[in-house]
């Protein structure tokens, strides 16, 4: 386990999809920034507060003019996270700012490249079976 603290900034992003003549507005939280912070837990919380009070989402920054200051409402949850509403002109954004400690990290690994013989075998026999989905230890998977 590492002792690295981070301030995480998530934005509520909306994707509009149309299906069968119906417009669906789908919202989901997207991690847009993770800033490493060295110091005590109090310093990390102070950095998160500063981010909640000053971070400007890219969609607002793109359309802002020099001297514009957006409206902002910042709420602190009982768990210590910040929920922020930011509005400028007719655009508004929702942010979630939280602190987290990095407890696990793994680099990406690539399988070795297939030989021409293996590629032909896959083409004739079909793809290899997929790995079983994750399941808690001691319980068989439903798949």
pLDDT at position 114 = 85
Point out the residues of the chain with pLDDT beneath 50: 1
pLDDT at position 140 = 63
| pLDDT, tens digit, 9 for 90 and up, residues 66-79 | 888 999 999 999 99
| Residue 10: other Cβ atoms inside 10 A | 18
Q: Assess contact for 5 and 36: CB atoms under 8 A.
A: yes
Q: Assess contact for 99 and 48: CB atoms under 8 A.
A: yes
pLDDT at position 121 = 82
pLDDT at position 94 = 94
pLDDT at position 1 = 44
| pTM (two decimals) | 0.72
User: What span, in angstroms and rounded, lies between the C-alpha atoms of 43 and 114?
Assistant: 50
Structure tokens at 7: 């301030």
pLDDT at position 135 = 79
């Amino acid at each position: 386990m590492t002792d690295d603290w981070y301030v995480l900034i998530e934005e509520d992003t909306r994707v509009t999809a149309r299906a069968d003549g119906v417009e669906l507005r789908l919202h989901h939280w997207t991690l847009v920034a993770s800033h490493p912070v060295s110091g005590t837990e109090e310093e990390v919380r102070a950095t998160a507060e500063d981010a909640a009070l000053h971070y400007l989402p890219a969609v607002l920054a793109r359309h802002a003019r020099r001297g514009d200051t957006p409206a902002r409402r910042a709420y602190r949850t009982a768990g210590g996270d910040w929920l922020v509403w930011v509005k400028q002109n007719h655009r508004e954004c929702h942010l979630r700012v939280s602190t987290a400690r990095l407890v696990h990290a793994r680099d990406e690994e690539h399988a070795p490249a297939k030989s021409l013989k293996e590629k032909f075998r896959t083409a004739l026999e079909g793809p290899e079976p997929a790995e079983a989905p994750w399941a808690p230890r001691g319980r068989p998977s439903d798949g």
